[in-house]
Amino acid sequence: MPLRIAIPDMVSPSYFPAIAAVELGCFRKEGLEAAVELLFPVTKTFEALRDGRLDFVGGAAHAPLYAFRAWTGCKLLCALSQNMYWFLVVRKELGVSRGDLRALKGFRIGAAPGPADGLKRMLIDAGIDPEREVNIVQVPAAAGVSFGLAAASALEKGAVDGFWANGMAAEIALRGGFGALVIDARRGDGPKASQHYTFPALVTTQKWIDQSPETVAAAVRAVVAAQAELRRDPSLAAVAAKRHFPAAELALIPELVERDAPYYDPTISRDAVDSLNAFARATGLLSGAPAYERVVATRFQSLWSGAS
């Protein structure tokens, strides 16, 4: 039976190294069969990992805490890429300038469970009450449709004033002429700390690590290899995406991967974990300050140390 790997948003550059590791044959080169699937939202993705219905998850690094209290029973294996990776886009006709979070007061902003944590914290750090001054809403999506595609469609139809979603959603809205970029969190827009609230990570259970460390090591090597291949040749993204992406988004993904390729670094630094835990405490997902070794599976650190 193939290894079961799930991500919460398929048509996106956010978790793309996980897709590429499967579709470019990196798992196969490690002697493993693997399949990647969409399971939304990320809170449910990690519940499925906890319950043994998945083997690995590529998702936001803070989101395991929805299913694994205080990091008990899971570990981060490597980063899929660096920094908080969502974009805030609003309807172009609203005339909001880039970086102007205070202009969002009274707006309806679409955000998925999990990613919404980053948006709410960013607003708080900017002096805005996300419960009273901004209306953060879920975006209706048809079954099997990635959240970013649904968010871009909702913005175009005027169902929301803005969205907080992945780079593909942002690109669709900007190229379509109906969206304006307010925040690119990865590249430092927004409050200073927000760039490092969370990041995309490959995660598994402690049970997998204990029972089959060689399989987990092979999975980490597969992802690190996929990151290296995408950095070397971003055009490979079209090969990796062709079974999962609609035609229009398939045409866009190599350019988005090329833009994000410098961030396809598997390193999980101690500073990144400190920032992650601080963010999780601020959002109420965590108390205390767990040690780096409690959060990260350090036995596999040599597989990605110096890989970027």
Each residue of 182-235: pLDDT tens digit? 999 999 999 989 999 999 999 999 999 999 999 999 999 999 999 999 999 999
**Which residues neighbour 72 within 8 Å (Cβ) at sequence distance 6 or greater?**
none
Least Cα distance to 200 among 266, 112, 101, 113 occurs for: 266
8 Å CB contact between 28 and 20: no
- Rounded to whole angstroms, how far apart are CA atoms 100 and 88? 11
Query: What would the mean pLDDT of 67-88 be, rounded to a whole number?
Result: 98
Helix residue ranges per DSSP H, the chain: 16-23, 26-29, 42-50, 115-125, 147-157, 167-175, 206-211, 213-232, 236-241, 247-260, 270-282, 292-295
pLDDT exceeds cutoff 70 at 72: yes
Collapsing DSSP states into helix, strand and coil, what is residue 111?
A: strand
At 153 the pLDDT is 95
Query: What would the mean pLDDT of 141-161 be, rounded to a whole number?
Result: 87
**Which residues neighbour 94 within 8 Å (Cβ) at sequence distance 6 or greater?**
103, 107, 161, 162, 180
Residue predicted with more confidence, 50 or 192? 50
- Rounded to whole angstroms, how far apart are CA atoms 18 and 10? 10
Each residue of 284-296: pLDDT tens digit? 999 989 999 999 9
**What domains, with CATH codes, occur in the chain?**
3-82+199-303 (3.40.190.10), 87-196 (3.40.190.10)
At 3 the pLDDT is 98
Each residue of 1-30: pLDDT tens digit? 899 999 999 999 999 999 999 999 999 999
Buried residues in 177-198 as b, exposed as e (16+ CB within 10 A): ebbbbbbbbbeebbbeebbbbb
At 307 the pLDDT is 72
- Rounded to whole angstroms, how far apart are CA atoms 9 and 121? 21
Collapsing DSSP states into helix, strand and coil, what is residue 270?
A: helix
- Count the helix, strand and coil residues of the chain and give each as a percent rounded to the nearest 5: 45, 15, 35
What proportion of the chain, given as a percentage, has pLDDT over 70? 98
